[in-house]
Amino acid sequence: MDVRPLSIDGAWAFTPVLHGDDRGVFLEAFKADVVAETIGRPFQLAQVNTSVSAAGVVRGIHFSDVPPSQAKYVTCSAGAVLDVVVDIRVGSPTFGRWDAVLLDDNDRRAVYLSEGLGHAFCSLQDGSVVTYLCSTGYRPGSEHGIDPMDPELGIEWPKIARDGSPLEYVLSEKDSAAPGLSQARESGLLPSLDDVREFLTD
């Protein structure tokens, strides 16, 4: 498995070795020892989520309170998505920046994002299936969002679907109504880098 750090500290892309023959393909989609060696601690799996999205669906930017927040290991088992990690940790040298990785059913790549980071994706094909391995379970009241279309962030969402057709973005009412980065920061909604570090070293 090839591991590549993203430009946001605490996020990595994992690309598995694909073993293919006339029957199909086999791969190791997740290896606990590789992830633990990469992030410096064991990945505690508490919940597995799956979403299925039509082309143009944008989900996120989602994050949760620190502590305990939620680390995620994200893959796309069918279809394709542009997966986006956003640094929302106040005090981080890369605060407000984002990085993106194509997750699809060809390369079978995955993204790991640590606690305190924001996560979003845009589906590039109807029926794209995204699976999230999560370090904590869903906690109503502790889950938050930032507007994925916030011009301050300037995320370069894809304009063309996998089949070459133009994408029309579809967001949930909750995601559409989410505050921008500055508004979320001013309201005290965002985690601080110090809080994240303290939680991860406890």
The 10s digit of each residue's pLDDT in 16-38 is: 999 999 999 999 999 999 999 99
Residue 192 has what DSSP assignment?
B
User: CA 99 to CA 4: how far, in whole Å?
Assistant: 12
DSSP 160-185: B-TTSPBP--B--HHHHTPPPHHHHH
- Cβ atoms of residues 170 and 56 within 8 Å: yes
Segments making up each domain of the chain, as ranges: 2-201
Residue positions annotated with a catalytic role: 62, 132
The residue with tokens 């299936």 is: 129
pTM of the model: 0.96
What pLDDT digit, counting tens, does each position of 38-92 carry?
Answer: 999 999 999 999 999 999 999 999 999 999 999 999 999 999 999 999 999 999 9
Q: What is the pLDDT averaged over residues 126-152? A: 96
Give strand pairing partners of 26.
19
Residue type, 168: E
Query: Taking the chain, what is the end-to-end CA distance rounded to the nearest angstrom?
Result: 29
**What's the pLDDT score for residue 117?**
98
User: CA 62 to CA 75: how far, in whole Å?
Assistant: 16
The correct CATH number of 2-201 out of 3.40.605.10, 3.30.1320.10, 3.90.550.10, 2.60.120.10 is: 2.60.120.10
Other beta carbons within 10 Å of 202: 7
User: CA 33 to CA 4: how far, in whole Å?
Assistant: 16
